Structure 1
Amino acid sequence: MKIVYSHSNIEGNVRDLYHKLEIREPHQIDRFEISRKLNIDLQCSDKGSLAFRLDGLEFVILNRNLTEQQLHAEFFHELAHIRTHTGSQHRLPKFMKDYQEWRAELFMLHCLAPTDMLIRDNLPGTEKEALYLMCERYNICEEHARKRYRMFFR
């Protein structure tokens, strides 16, 4: 049976980004290569993760104390801020900051396991089997796999 699917704005943005970067398979979802192709200075620090622009340059700084899967996810969360937000969150009302964080979380989940790739994967019938496959194939933690799985089948 062929799945007919209508992409959300975020799914379309991720699809277009990955198409531009020639990312077609899960093993190509690599923060180092993506930051290089997008000309983003990727650094690590002992402090919290953040993203910012300075004099036309873009920076993502990740907390080096995170696990590999957390770093992977955190990169895409911060990438969402660079690609979709301008200015500083510090001056925003709380509801706007919360909205930006919610959108960054959605963007991150879609970057970790893009809809088009999940469709091609033809996920197994049970949630447990699908989560195992997603964790292994996309290098994501079970929590993110579960969230993405439930979004996908909603």
Structure 2
Amino acid sequence: MKIGVSRPAELDIELIAARMGIIVDYIPGPSKGVEVGSHSIIMLNNSLSPALQWQEFAHELAHILRHSGNQYILPHDFRMLQEWQASHFALYFCIPGSMLQDIDLPNSKQEAILKVMDTFHVTPTFASARIDQWFNHIFF
């Protein structure tokens, strides 16, 4: 909301990166987020599908926004916690609750997954995880 993104059509890597002052580059290797001086850079694997690039963008953005330092020198359990946090953040970032609540989801989970995939340009597994999370939040 703070960067003027309020509709699923505005959930776009380049648009969000520009509004947040983040540099995005596409590389032939694993995706990663780094900070160099005062610059934040997210490097995305150029061989991934657009849906996977979007999901990895959100994951790496979480590291930039919430974590600092070199993750690889951290104890294993703390690094796993940061990975879980980034994955959890990505679900909310790629499929914001404020946008999800405005969608009329079908009663069938499979149909709901397809609708979320189509609307938010994510993978089936990712859509399913977010739908489960959404319903757990609503009903529990």
Normalized against structure 1, the TM-score is what?
A: 0.86
Which among 126, 130, 133 is matched to residue 115 of structure 2?
A: 133
- Within 5 Å, give how 1:111-122 maps onto structure 2: 111-122=93-104
- 1:153 is matched with which residue? 135
**Following TM superposition, by how much is the alpha carbon of 1:123 offset from its aligned partner in structure 2, in angstroms?**
1.5
Query: Secondary structure of 1:120's partner?
Result: coil
Which among 43, 52, 58 is matched to residue 76 of structure 1?
A: 58
Cα distance in 1, alignment partners of residues 77 and 124 from structure 2: 29
Cα distance in 2, alignment partners of residues 36 and 22 from structure 1: 12
- 1:105 is matched with which residue? 87
Which among 31, 36, 45 is matched to residue 49 of structure 1?
A: 31
Cα distance in 1, alignment partners of residues 134 and 116 from structure 2: 12
Amino acid at match of 1:99: L
Which structure 2 segments of 5+ residues have no match? none
Query: Secondary structure of 2:128's partner?
Result: helix
Higher relative contact order (CA 8 A, sep 6+): 1
- 1:143 is matched with which residue? 125
Amino acid at match of 1:46: P
Cα distance in 2, alignment partners of residues 133 and 90 from structure 1: 37
Query: Secondary structure of 2:68's partner?
Result: coil
- How many equivalent residue pairs? 136
Amino acid at match of 2:98: D
Percentage of pairs with the same residue: 28
RMSD, aligned CA: 0.8
Amino acid at match of 1:119: Q
Q: Which runs of 4+ in 1 moved over 6 A?
A: none
**Following TM superposition, by how much is the alpha carbon of 1:129 offset from its aligned partner in structure 2, in angstroms?**
1.5
**Following TM superposition, by how much is the alpha carbon of 1:127 offset from its aligned partner in structure 2, in angstroms?**
0.7
Cα distance in 1, alignment partners of residues 31 and 77 from structure 2: 21
- Within 5 Å, give how 1:27-38 maps onto structure 2: 27-38=9-20
**Following TM superposition, by how much is the alpha carbon of 1:75 offset from its aligned partner in structure 2, in angstroms?**
0.4
Cα distance in 2, alignment partners of residues 36 and 57 from structure 1: 12
Which structure 1 segments of 5+ residues have no match? 1-18
